[in-house]
Amino acid sequence: MRSDKMKKGVERAPHRSLLKAMGYTDEEISRPLIGVANSFNELIPGHIHLRQIVDAVKAGIRMAGGTPMEFGGIGVCDGIAMNHLGMRYSLASRELIADSVEVMAQAHPFDGLVVVPSCDKITPGMIMAILRMNIPAIVVTGGPMLTGTWRGRKVNLISVFEGIGEVRSGRMSQEDLCSLEDEACPTCGSCAGMFTANSMNCLSEALGLSLPGNGTIPAVTAKRMRLAKTTGMQIMKLVEKGIRPRDIATEEAFRNAIAVDMALGCSTNTVLHVPAIAHEAKVDLPLEVFNDMSKKTPHLCSLIPAGTHSLQDLDYAGGIQAILKELDKLGIIEGGCITVTTKSAAENFSEAKVVDPQIIRSVDDPYHQEGGIAILYGNLAEEGSVVKQSAVAPEMLRHEGPARVFDSEDEAYSAILHGKINPGDVVVIRYEGPKGGPGMPEMLSPTSAIVGMGLDKQVALLTDGRFSGGTKGAAIGHISPEAAEGGTIALVQEGDTISIDIPAKRLDLKLSQEELEKRRAQWQPPEPRIKEGYMARYARMVSSGAKGAIVE
């Protein structure tokens, strides 16, 4: 056993003594030792209940003959960090999370790992760690929050963000907004909707790194607790059989996951996290794979924020396994991929059923013929940019308009809320990329304000930063190269015409090459916003959004 390095033989007597100081018996020490990474904290709704989930995981490990050893991890709540300095630390926390799990599992050589994340950067960070470590491991998340009900309609966190714009435009009173905020987030769990957290939780299941049901079973159900116990038991089978994460997360498995991504209409942040996870799995996954799978994969689910169905609805309708089975009809799912069940993907979804065809549509009757995400290229995004095309109004799929240029999110947000953005405008927010932000902050406040002001079918928003999974409308992010590296987005001037053609996968600044070169010769990089500490180091080492914003 791997853990023998710290517990077996006469020379490990001091090590065993230290373990016994914590109450471990000889019997417990002799068993396989399973690390349990618990990202519980009292800051994130998706993590506030993880002590209970982890207790269930540990019970499952003990039932199956192992000894669980719990350790903690950090986590940022993107909603609470939104629209202030804290958001610059969110994406960067993913690398710290991966590094901290690696540190714990190398310093204390466990025989297996169960990672228990739930939200935006924590889930991909922990998945990156288990692929980097490549010891038997499994993922179980905290599960999605239930939607709220306010005055007869479903509401969620994004409803509150959009409410700010509605108040500013006179379409809602401040008293109504207060009432809405009381009802929008009614339970623990990752925010209700196909936002980044639930997108990544669903994709962990589609990749085969978590048990069926992990992506969709609600946080507050007994079924989630049973899943956690079963996960604890299952890690012992993975240890026994020697099945490791890289045996599971193959190129074929990543294509399966991206197909599910497209069918669901997941967050654009998956285009950052999935390549970063693939990098740890030693799988080459260029951005072109997303467009390739999008062309092959119909959009089957109309989930919050683009549609009306919740994660609870998706779970009832059959969940991720039913989607895999439906997509398999098109021949685009590699059913032979091994999963943490120790069975193949096809064996897992063989008994799945679509219970409600309005929630999970047939491949013969999709919402859209193409998948939910598109990668756009052009002289404004030579290395690529990302849009959730399933959340774009039909009239905005093709658009030309004058650039309204802002060198920070705060400037743009203020202009939107003060009525300075006009129908037809293309709002450009730059110097918010991985290096320039630093940290590539999410732009949920500006996009939600545009929706709240009633401009989402008339105004586009472009950025080298990124968007929340809760964003809808013609919001194009991850523009690479970013402004801080001298990308074309740094050269845009107020009033320049920008052309967006999502069906053609194009994003262009309508200027001659001669004019672009003239502007490029005059461009100077700005002073960094953060000059010391972790984020200053991160800005020096991070790659572009097109490469998953990995630290190289």
- Rounded to 5 degrees, φ, ψ at 399 are -155, 140
- Render 458-507 in DSSP notation, one character per residue: T-EEEESSB--TT--SSEEEEEES-GGGT-GGGG--TT-EEEEETTTTEE
Integer Cα distance of 386 and 2 in angstroms: 42
Does residue 413 contact residue 449 with C-beta atoms inside 8 Å?
Answer: yes
Q: What six digits make up the tokens of 493?
A: 């001037």
Angle at 504 between CA 501 and CA 510, to 5 degrees: 45
- Rounded to 5 degrees, φ, ψ at 311 are -65, -35
- Give the N- to C-terminal CA distance of the chain in Å, as an integer: 32
What's the number of CA atoms in the CB half-sphere (13 Å) around residue 474?
A: 29
51 beta partners: none
Q: Report the interhelical angle of 157-168 vs 174-183 (nearest 10°).
A: 180
429 beta partners: 406, 463
Reduced to 3 states (helix: H, G, I; strand: E, B; else coil), residue 219 is coil
- Render 248-265 in DSSP notation, one character per residue: HS-HHHHHHHHHHHHHHT
Distances (CA, A) of 187 to 153, 218, 312, 384, 528: 17, 10, 13, 37, 39
Q: Is 468 among the residues known to form the active site?
A: yes
- Rounded to 5 degrees, φ, ψ at 361 are -75, 160
Q: What six digits make up the tokens of 248?
A: 């599971």
Strands 475-480 and 460-463: parallel
Does residue 427 contact residue 406 with C-beta atoms inside 8 Å?
Answer: yes
Integer Cα distance of 389 and 369 in angstroms: 11
User: Please, which residues have CB within 8 angstroms of residue 81's CB and are 6 or more apart in sequence?
Assistant: 87, 89, 90
Q: Which of 93, 385, 445, 468 is catalytic?
A: 468
Q: What 3 state SS string does 422-440 have?
A: CCCCEEEECCCCCCCCCCC
Integer Cα distance of 413 and 450 in angstroms: 9
Integer Cα distance of 37 and 34 in angstroms: 10
Assign residue 440 a region (left: φ > 0; alpha: ψ between -120 and 50; beta: otherwise): left
Q: Which of 25, 162, 113, 140 is nearest to 450 (CA)?
A: 162
Integer Cα distance of 482 and 487 in angstroms: 5
Integer Cα distance of 231 and 251 in angstroms: 24
Which residues are annotated as catalytic?
468
